[in-house]
Amino acid sequence: MEQNHHIDWKKYLIVFLFTLGIFLSASYISNYFGNKKIDQLKLIQDKISIDILSSETQFSLLSELSCKNISDSIISGELGELGRKLEWGQDNLGTTDTVSYLKKYYSLLQIKDYLLTKKISERCKTKAAFILYFYTTAENCSECEREGVVLSNLRDKYPELRVYSFDYSIDLSAVKSMLQIYKIEDTKLPALVIDGDVLTGFHSIEELESRVKESFKLQDIKLEETIPIKN
Amino acid sequence: MALFLSSIFYIFSFLSVYVQVFFLITFLDNKKEITNRNGSTKLYKYPKVTIMVPAWNEENTIYKTVRSLLNLNYPKNKIQIFLIDDGSTDKTWDFMQKFSKFSNIKIFHKDNGGKHTALNVGLENLETDYVGCLDADSIADPESLVRIMSYFEKDSSVMAVSPSILVINSKNIIQHAQKAEYDMSIYVKKMLSFLGAIHVTPGPLTIFNRKVFDDLGPYRHAHNTEDMEIAYRMQKNNYKIKQCNDAYVYTNTPGTIKKLYKQRLRWIYGFINNTIDYRSMIFKKKYGNFSLFSLPFNIMSVVAVTFIFGKTVYSFGKFLFLKVLEFKDVGFNFNYNISHFDPFFINTQSLSFIGILLFLLIIFSIMIGKKMSEGKWNLSFNMILYILIFSIVGPFWLLKAIFNTILSRKPAWR
């Protein structure tokens, strides 16, 4: 009987190399698109950075000039978009080092935006509420995910509300300083800072909404008490 | 843990692509040998062939099945037909008796004992050198037998030849999906034929040299998949099995998910248990590609589907859980749905590209199968239906088959 069970080892090897080639090509293409996305993120960050710098410069000129148009340069929408993309990138882009570097930069931009907007709000008496949100990606934090959804919802509802989110585990001295200032502990995440009060654990939308409204109300009272600045 | 699961996923993806590339290279290697004959085929010699038709409650289809055998392009005095009623409770026996006047048809009646026992009645009465079976729900193309026999004429070491099985009377999406699946099987079977690694000699008109049964013994129960077990036994004994791509047999397919589920449960259960019975053959060089390619990759597909199904169920469950929490926390949020499309969020991980490639390779396999059976290249919606339906329902019969194997529960025939 003719040999039925002939094995072509060369074919096994060729197919292996071919398959390996396919995987390497897929990895190359994936990297290519990943880098494109990182470039896109860098571009957004540069733009935000320039915008903040511009706002700061404008703010410095405020004493000589006026509050007119200053609020136009507030860029929290773009910051939010960048945050979402970075969050997604961390899970889906292979180059985690670059993404975490960008995330650090993003955190810095948020702090700068927070400080600047707060100053502008005080100086120009514009209505704004701030929430600093601390979460963690180092471990599975389902309450952080829930709080994130609540905050996104709240932000959609109140455009004047500015939410700044910070990853507890990020290795950045500026963020660490904030953690020290507000005495945030990793065992009590998620944590929120609203009007100087630190709230830990999950907080419902109703609870946060009442606090945000309260914050706006206080500002309205303050605004009524002060003489409006004339341009 | 996440890294471990992701590594397993990568390994399964790699092996899946490996199988497809292996088939593709085999196809390119043997392209010239794949022919589609037109018109009537002629042989130098027409050996005598017995075709057994085992039937259990097949009153709706048996008449057409036997008529198709009588219409075969093969000398009438060279074909012996055995109609074997396996204790039917419907009018199958009455239909069989309508053919009693034909000199080349013999009719047998026995108590119900399963398909393998019916076939063994035929083997006990065998007088010819070649023997085959035609399931009573299938119809043989007039050219099928002569084309199959041409393989025996060309190579005397061939011990069994199976045909291409095509779907008839496909009326709904379940059957349309199976149509694409059967097309792909033609391609896969042909490639396994080139590799000497066929693991099933299907009931619809596989023809054997009687030496197979003389040497290796009759059919066995084999977990209700006697057509798989005989192929395993042949591979173990180095008996050559070929596939004749231009010999067509048309078969009826299950028309409901429930019937399809039962059929596939039986097939997969049979595969798992026959593989367990013949486990000593896995990764043994002396059994060739059957032991190094066919068996391991079939086992891998069972494990991979189980793994991917588990992973999908977990991810989907988690997604649902988070959505329920989200609904509880903030109610319905339509903002996510109406937000504008941003290409940034398109998944460009390497596995996405591999997934697309695998999808294309499967579509291509179906197209080659279609080309091999119908002689033309074309795309059809059935291909999408096949991938969609089988990827959703397939894991269920597979898991049930594994479950039954663990609990030693045997699935019913229908």
The pLDDT value given to residue B275:
95
B40 contacts B146 by C-beta, under 8 angstroms: yes
Residue A196 lies in a domain: yes
Beta strands B79-86 and B49-55 are parallel
Q: List the single residue in B196, B335, B349 with the smallest CB-CB distance to A4.
A: B196
DSSP symbol at B45: S
Among residues B317, B299, B256, which one has the least CA distance to residue B402? B299
pLDDT above 90 for B142 = yes
Residues from chain A that touch B17, judged by Cβ atoms under 8 A, are 19, 22-23
Residue A4 lies in a domain: no
pLDDT above 70 for A63 = no
Is any Cβ of chain B less than 8 angstroms from the Cβ of A10?
A: no
Kindly identify which residue of chain A lies nearest to residue B333, measuring between CA atoms: A153
Q: Closest Cα of chain B to A42: distance in Å?
A: 13
DSSP symbol at A183: T
Q: Which helix (H) or strand (E) holds B92?
A: helix B92-97
Residue B237 lies in a domain: yes
Is any Cβ of chain B less than 8 angstroms from the Cβ of A210?
A: no
Q: Are residues B184 and B296 in the same domain?
A: yes
Q: How many domains does chain B fold into?
A: 2
Q: Are residues B129 and B174 in the same domain?
A: no
Residue B276 lies in a domain: yes
The pLDDT value given to residue B319:
85
Kindly indicate the confidence band of residue A102, based on its pLDDT and cuts at 50, 70 and 90: confident
DSSP symbol at B157: T
Q: List the single residue in A30, A142, A156 with the smallest CB-CB distance to B348.
A: A30
Q: Are residues B123 and B76 in the same domain?
A: yes
The pLDDT value given to residue A229:
45
Alpha helices in B160-244 (DSSP H): 173-195, 211-216, 226-236
Residue with tokens 């030693």: B408
Which among A119-133, B179-193, B302-316 has the top mean pLDDT?
A: B179-193
Q: List the single residue in A12, A30, A145 with the smallest CB-CB distance to B349.
A: A30
pLDDT in tens, B335-387: 554 456 788 888 888 889 999 999 999 999 999 998 888 778 888 888 999 99
pLDDT above 50 for A227 = no
B4 contacts B37 by C-beta, under 8 angstroms: no
CA dihedral B246, B251, B257, B258 (to 10 degrees): -140
Q: In what order do the strands lie in the sheet with B105-110?
A: B105-110, B79-86, B49-55, B130-133, B207-209, B158-168, B240-252, B138-140
Q: What's the CATH number where B80 sits?
A: 3.90.550.10
Separation CA B74–CA B300 (nearest Å): 42
Residue A98 lies in a domain: yes
Residues from chain B that touch A37, judged by Cβ atoms under 8 A, are 344, 348
Count interface pairs A-B at CB distance under 8 A: 100
Please give the angle made by the CA atoms of B343, B348 and B350, to the nearest 5 degrees. Answer: 170
Q: List the single residue in A7, A37, A88 with the smallest CB-CB distance to B285.
A: A7
Residue A19 lies in a domain: yes
Residues from chain A that touch B292, judged by Cβ atoms under 8 A, are 7, 12
Cβ contact A146–B325 (<8 Å): yes
Of B138, B158, B181, the one marking the end of a domain is: B138
pLDDT above 80 for A3 = no
Mean pLDDT of A113-127: 79
Of B138, B157, B179, the one marking the end of a domain is: B138
Among residues A103, A108, A186, which one has the least CA distance to residue A144? A186
Kindly identify which residue of chain A lies nearest to residue B349, measuring between CA atoms: A30
Residue A141 lies in a domain: yes
Kindly indicate the confidence band of residue A100, based on its pLDDT and cuts at 50, 70 and 90: confident
Residues from chain B that touch A2, judged by Cβ atoms under 8 A, are 155, 157, 240
Q: Are residues B25 and B152 in the same domain?
A: yes
Residue B41 lies in a domain: no
B344, B359, B361: best to mutate for the A interface, most A CBs within 10 A: B344
Angstrom CA distances, B262 to B185, B254, B258, B412, stand at 19, 9, 6, 8
A1, A3, A4, A92: best to mutate for the B interface, most B CBs within 10 A: A4
Q: What is the DSSP string of A52-116?
A: HHHHHHHHHHHTTS-STTGGGG--HHHHHHHHHHHHHHHHH-S-HHHHHHHHHHHHHHHHHHHHH
Is any Cβ of chain B less than 8 angstroms from the Cβ of A7?
A: yes
Residues from chain B that touch A153, judged by Cβ atoms under 8 A, are 329-330, 333, 335
Residue B350 lies in a domain: yes
**Cβ burial B6-23 (10 Å sphere, 16+ → b, else e):** eeeeeebbebbbbbbbbb
Cβ contact A156–B238 (<8 Å): no
Kindly identify which residue of chain B lies nearest to residue A207, measuring between CA atoms: B329
Longest dimension (CA), chain B: 80
Separation CA B138–CA B65 (nearest Å): 6
Cβ contact B344–A37 (<8 Å): yes
Catalogue the long-range contacts made by A51-59 (C-beta closer than 8 Å, 24 or more residues apart).
Answer: A51/A75, A51/A78, A52/A109, A52/A112, A52/A113, A52/A116, A55/A116, A55/A120, A56/A112, A56/A116, A59/A116, A59/A119, A59/A120, A59/A123
Residues from chain B that touch A40, judged by Cβ atoms under 8 A, are 344
Q: Are residues B81 and B14 in the same domain?
A: no
Q: Are residues B200 and B66 in the same domain?
A: no
The pLDDT value given to residue A64:
53
The pLDDT value given to residue B5:
83
Mean pLDDT of B314-323: 86
Q: List the single residue in B18, B29, B329 with the smallest CB-CB distance to A19.
A: B18
Secondary structure of B59-72 as H, E, C letters:
CCCHHHHHHHHHCC
Q: Are residues B246 and B102 in the same domain?
A: no
* Tally of residues, chain B: 414
Q: Closest Cα of chain A to B239: distance in Å?
A: 7
Q: Are residues B134 and B166 in the same domain?
A: no
Residue B213 lies in a domain: yes
Q: List the single residue in A16, A33, A94 with the smallest CB-CB distance to B18.
A: A16
Cβ contact A149–B155 (<8 Å): no
Residues from chain A that touch B315, judged by Cβ atoms under 8 A, are none
Cβ contact A150–B357 (<8 Å): no
Interface of B with A (CB under 8 A): 14, 17-18, 21-22, 25-26, 29, 155, 157, 196, 238-240, 285-290, 292, 322, 325-326, 329-330, 333, 335, 344-345, 347-354, 357
Tell me the backbone φ, ψ of residue B135, rounded to 5 degrees: -60, 145
Mean pLDDT of A176-186: 86
Is any Cβ of chain B less than 8 angstroms from the Cβ of A29?
A: yes
* Residues in Cβ contact with B326 at an 8 Å cutoff, skipping those fewer than 6 apart: A146, A149, B333
pLDDT above 50 for A187 = yes
Q: What's the CATH number where A82 sits?
A: 3.40.30.10
pLDDT above 90 for B271 = yes
Which among A133-137, B21-25, B94-98, B320-324 has the top mean pLDDT?
A: B21-25
B85 contacts B96 by C-beta, under 8 angstroms: yes
The pLDDT value given to residue B412:
66
Q: Closest Cα of chain B to A76: distance in Å?
A: 17
Residues from chain A that touch B349, judged by Cβ atoms under 8 A, are 30, 92, 94
The pLDDT value given to residue B276:
94
pTM for the model: 0.86
Mean pLDDT of B42-69: 93
Query: ipTM exceeding 0.90?
Result: no
Q: What is the mean pLDDT of chain B?
A: 91
Residue B170 lies in a domain: yes
Residue B40 lies in a domain: no
The pLDDT value given to residue A230:
43
Number of Cα atoms under 13 Å in the Cβ half of residue B320: 6
Domain that holds residue A53: 9-225
Residues from chain A that touch B286, judged by Cβ atoms under 8 A, are 5
Separation CA B301–CA B19 (nearest Å): 10
pLDDT in tens, B199-228: 999 989 999 999 999 999 999 999 989 999
Residue B54 lies in a domain: yes
Q: Are residues B243 and B381 in the same domain?
A: yes
Kindly identify which residue of chain B lies nearest to residue A22, measuring between CA atoms: B354
Least confident of A21-25, A172-176, B63-67, B196-200: A172-176
pLDDT above 60 for A1 = no
Please give the angle made by the CA atoms of A191, A192 and A194, to the nearest 5 degrees. Answer: 160
Residue A2 lies in a domain: no
Of B107, B138, B169, the one marking the end of a domain is: B138
Q: Are residues B118 and B153 in the same domain?
A: no
Q: Closest Cα of chain A to B184: distance in Å?
A: 21
Cβ contact A5–B286 (<8 Å): yes
Q: Are residues B159 and B196 in the same domain?
A: yes
Is any Cβ of chain B less than 8 angstroms from the Cβ of A18?
A: yes
Domain that holds residue B113: 49-138
The pLDDT value given to residue B66:
94
Residue A47 lies in a domain: yes
The pLDDT value given to residue A73:
47
Mean pLDDT of B91-117: 92
Tell me the backbone φ, ψ of residue A128, rounded to 5 degrees: -155, 140
Sign of CA dihedral B369, B375, B377, B381: negative
Q: Closest Cα of chain A to B292: distance in Å?
A: 9
Separation CA A193–CA A110 (nearest Å): 14
Q: How many domains does chain A fold into?
A: 1
